[in-house]
Amino acid sequence: MVEMNKILDINPVDLLVTVEAGVITESVSKAVEHLNLFFPPDPGSMKSSTIGGNIAENAGGLRGLKYGVTKDYVNSIEIVLPTGEIVNMGSNTVKAVTGYNFVDLICGSEGTLGVITKATLGLLPIPADRASILSFFKDMTDAAKTVIDIVAQGVITATLEIVDKVTINAIEDFLKIGLDRTVGAMLLIEVDGQKGATEIEADIVLKVCKSNNALSVRKAKNSQERDKLWEARRAALSSLSRIKPSTILEDATVQRSRIVELVEAVDGIAQKYNIMIGTFGHAGDGNLHPTILTDLRIPEEAEKTEKAIEEIFKATIALGGTLSGEHGIGITKAQYLKLELSKPVYDLMEKVKNAFDPNNILNPGKMKCVWNS
Ligand SMILES: Cc1cc2nc3c(=O)[nH]c(=O)nc-3n(C[C@H](O)[C@H](O)[C@H](O)COP(=O)(O)OP(=O)(O)OC[C@H]3O[C@@H](n4cnc5c(N)ncnc54)[C@H](O)[C@@H]3O)c2cc1C
């Protein structure tokens, strides 16, 4: 798909851009920057992921709390059905309720229902002002409580990211940018909007951090410092993956109000199995990436890793959460679908798959659960 990489049309009046599916995510915003517009979904992989892949996975990103995820910006798509027909779905009007919402069905379908070839995406004006805030805490619990309180104070930040001690140390080893290795957790927060409004919101964020026992909290002094902070956050996964031969990134997601409990559950599981877990993620969305650092070549390590992953999923579901906030189910998580879905719902999924793809030729085996195993 990467050769289908043309930006076909930019429509600044209706805030729309039409692209081929192989266009790299970051290039969409770059193509409309001169019009003071941007494409909000910003997965950590935006320098390499494609719009087709983002739609297929319904990718989220760092700005999800305020701006939502990929599906919130997909107006219409062209897809090639597994039976060969080329069809268009959706509408480029602001509102449309004609027929079933097939566009939302395709978003997150993991390439099992059709090959996306073209998409018309929504854009937004670039916010006039932004401020980034960095705050350190003694532990993840204080940081997670802060996340809940910031939103409870009426501030919907553009980003609200949490990083634990293991990950802070990994980033510092990799980038050497002067992060404090002694702290237990860090929050990276960005507010954006009209000038004046961002200052008020940043002040509220600073106060909430302090009232939750922040060890330190400060605003980035300038855009260079701000860019450095976000570069550090984007390097979280690559930094962790340098520690051990195997890196397994999970995607546990709960309601924001349960994030403290999820953080504590993951910590308990790491201790119980004596395994290294680095946790970071989009805490404002309740979406954490507990990342298990291990060596799957060693059978005992592989065994306890599998048990720990299953416990993380079970704890997430027990907290009313979901198996995946943004990365999808694929093959490796397919067996866990039965923890979250009822059998009738899973059967409906199978019927939908069969209606689109009667010959089972598109990504067979993805999201495929053997129910009685
Ligand atoms: C470092 C890193 C950071 C990441 N950060 C995030 C993040 O912040 N948020 C997030 O949501 N995800 C993140 N991801 C996961 C991943 O990058 C996203 O899911 C992304 O949307 C995948 O896009 P891709 O083009 O790379 O797709 P691929 O990985 O190539 O494909 C993903 C799936 O989509 C299907 N697919 C791809 N293109 C099409 C198409 N045109 N039509 C139909 N099906 C298609 C494929 O068959 C496959 O099943 C991250 C990954 C990495 C490695």
Within this chain, do residues 173 and 214 fall inside the same structural domain, yes or no?
A: yes
Let me know if residue 183 belongs to a domain. yes
Ligand 1 midpoint to CA 70 (Å): 11
Let me know if residue 61 belongs to a domain. yes
CA distance 266 to 254: 13
Ligand 1 midpoint to CA 53 (Å): 4
CA distance 101 to 127: 30
Within this chain, do residues 16 and 114 fall inside the same structural domain, yes or no?
A: yes
Domain limits for position 66: 7-125
Within this chain, do residues 116 and 221 fall inside the same structural domain, yes or no?
A: no
Q: What atom in ligand 1 is closest to the CA of residue 116?
A: 42
Within this chain, do residues 67 and 146 fall inside the same structural domain, yes or no?
A: no
CB 256 within 8 A of CB 319: no
Please tell me if the CB atom of residue 115 comes closer than 6 angstroms to any atom of ligand 1: yes
pLDDT at 64: 94
For 40-68, what is each residue's pLDDT tens digit? 999 989 999 999 999 999 999 999 999 99
Let me know if residue 251 belongs to a domain. no
Within this chain, do residues 181 and 220 fall inside the same structural domain, yes or no?
A: yes
Pocket probe for ligand 1: among 3, 5, 49, the residue whose CB has the most ligand atoms within 8 Å is: 49
Let me know if residue 43 belongs to a domain. yes
Nearest CA to ligand 1 atom 35: 111
Which residues, at least 6 apart from 298, have a Cβ–Cβ distance to it below 8 Å? none
User: What is the edge-to-edge ordering of all strands in the sheet holding 185-193?
Assistant: 216-219, 129-137, 185-193, 159-164, 276-282, 287-294, 246-249
Within this chain, do residues 38 and 59 fall inside the same structural domain, yes or no?
A: yes
Let me know if residue 329 belongs to a domain. no
- Number of domains comprising the chain: 2
Within this chain, do residues 186 and 210 fall inside the same structural domain, yes or no?
A: yes
For 99-119, what is each residue's pLDDT tens digit? 999 999 999 999 999 999 999
Which among 72, 93, 125 is the end of a domain? 125
End-to-end Cα spacing for the chain: 36
Query: pTM higher than 0.85, yes or no?
Result: yes
Nearest CA to ligand 1 atom 26: 49
Say whether pLDDT at 373 is over 60. Answer: no
The enclosing domain of 171 has a CATH number of: 3.30.70.2190
Q: Which amino acid appears at position 108 of this protein?
A: G
Q: What atom in ligand 1 is closest to the CA of residue 328?
A: 19
Cα–Cα distance list, 289 to 108, 163, 268, 277 (Å): 18, 10, 15, 10
Let me know if residue 208 belongs to a domain. yes
Within this chain, do residues 11 and 119 fall inside the same structural domain, yes or no?
A: yes
Within this chain, do residues 37 and 119 fall inside the same structural domain, yes or no?
A: yes
Within this chain, do residues 138 and 47 fall inside the same structural domain, yes or no?
A: no
Please tell me if the CB atom of residue 54 comes closer than 6 angstroms to any atom of ligand 1: yes
Burial of 194 (0-12, 13-18, 19+ CB in 10 A): exposed
CB 294 within 8 A of CB 307: no
Which among 209, 238, 267 is the end of a domain? 238
pLDDT at 43: 93
